[in-house]
């Protein structure tokens, strides 16, 4: 969900949450939930009838696009989270630390 700059806010379990990802599989939800909890966010999930999961963060200042592209999140190995890592496209350590100004 790195294509929506304006965060979506919904109520989950009685709390207002910013949607980090929506309509994802349980495996994807597990990855994103653990990653966000590692970065000290309170994470809530909501399943729909088809088994797809919505992941919410209770910190209303969280914005998945900004936090990923500004490299504010840390990975499980302590490196900065890039869009490729967030989207689970690549887990190459050298790619994680690459900045456009270093290319």
Smallest Cα–Cα separation from 100: which of 79, 82, 78, 74? 82
Q: What is the pLDDT of residues 51-68, one digit of tens each?
A: 999 999 999 999 999 999
Instruction: Give the mean pLDDT of the chain.
Output: 89
Q: What is the pLDDT of residues 17-55, one digit of tens each?
A: 999 999 999 999 999 999 999 999 999 999 999 999 999
Boundaries of every domain in the chain: 9-102
Spatial contact of 11 and 46, defined as CB atoms under 8 Å apart: no
Are 24 and 31 contacting, i.e. CB atoms less than 8 angstroms apart? no
Mean pLDDT value of segment 76-86: 90
Which CATH number applies to 9-102? Answer: 3.30.70.1530
Q: Are strands 43-47 and 9-12 parallel, antiparallel or unpaired?
A: unpaired
Question: What predicted TM-score, i.e. pTM, was given to this entire model?
Answer: 0.86
Distance from C-alpha of 103 to C-alpha of 101, rounded to nearest angstrom: 6
Give the model's pLDDT for residue 90. Answer: 72
């Amino acid at each position: 969900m790195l294509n929506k700059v304006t965060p979506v806010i919904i109520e989950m379990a009685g709390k207002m949450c910013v949607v980090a990802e929506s309509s994802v599989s349980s495996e994807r939800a597990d990855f994103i939930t653990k990653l966000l909890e590692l970065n000290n966010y309170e994470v809530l999930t909501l399943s729909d009838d088809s088994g797809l999961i919505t992941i919410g963060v209770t910190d209303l200042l969280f914005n998945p696009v900004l936090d990923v592209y500004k490299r504010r999140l840390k990975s499980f190995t302590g490196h900065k989270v890039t869009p490729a890592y967030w989207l689970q496209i690549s887990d190459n350590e050298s790619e994680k630390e690459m900045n456009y100004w270093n290319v």
